[in-house]
Amino acid sequence: MPLPEKQHYTVDDIYNLPDGQRAELIDGTLYNMAPPGYIHQKLVMELSATLRNHIKAQNGPCEVLPSPFAVFLNGDDATYVEPDISVICNKNKITDNGCYGAPDLIIEIVSPSSRRMDYQVKNNLYSLAGVREYWIVDPARKRTTIYYYEKDEAPMIVPFAESARFGIYNDLEVLIDKMI
């Protein structure tokens, strides 16, 4: 939910938040982030480990970085996000401060407070920024919505009980039901 105090925020405002308070910044609007729950964190861990193990086994160039990890999508000071999982294949985009530019794959785990953000605001943001693939993992609905932006196709909706295949790794699929 946006904070009402100020009309336009910048990355400096993110860094000046009180210790322990997390927020994201999208087009100058600040959004508080609620602490994640158990299922959320379990899915972040399992999906990150699965992706990392696959990349290592293939000697791939990509990095798997779970939240909190800053992603500066637009190269400006008005947008700062912390996707639950970012997969970045161009290591030149990575610094100690975060990722500058679009990750290749972003995964967001839906929380009750993040539903609108994940399905609408971030979907539009990630599509326009050049993210290749976006997964919305929704524990409440027991399904994953997958956008393969670079293929310009309609999203796929995969129930947790069915295997979901990664677009950037055609030889990798996951069964979310087995992860929770």
Q: What tens digit of pLDDT does each residue of 89-106 get?
A: 999 999 999 999 999 999
Q: Once rounded to an integer, what is the mean pLDDT over residues 68-93?
A: 94
Q: Is the pLDDT of residue 51 over 80?
A: yes
Say whether 164 sits in a helix, a strand or coil.
Answer: strand
Q: Once rounded to an integer, what is the mean pLDDT over residues 110-130?
A: 94
Q: Is the pLDDT of residue 74 over 90?
A: no
Per-residue DSSP letter, 58: T
Residue 56, exposed/middle/buried by CB under 10 A (0-12, 13-18, 19+)?
A: exposed
Q: Once rounded to an integer, what is the mean pLDDT over residues 115-126?
A: 95
Q: What is the pLDDT of residue 97?
A: 93
Report CA dihedral (30, 36, 40, 45) to the nearest 10 degrees.
Answer: 100
pTM of the full structure: 0.93
Tell me the CA distances in angstroms from 131 to 31, 53, 55, 82, 101, one per residue in order. 21, 22, 18, 14, 9
Q: What is the pLDDT of residue 61?
A: 95
Question: Using an 8 Å Cβ cutoff, are 72 and 98 in contact?
Answer: yes
Confidence of residue 173 (pLDDT cuts 50, 70, 90): very high
- pLDDT averaged over every residue in the chain: 93
Q: Once rounded to an integer, what is the mean pLDDT over residues 36-40?
A: 95
Confidence of residue 153 (pLDDT cuts 50, 70, 90): confident
Phi-psi region of 63 (alpha: psi -120 to 50; beta: other; left: phi over 0): beta
- 171: which residues sit within 8 A by CB, 6+ positions away? none
Beta carbons within 10 angstroms of residue 169's beta carbon? 17
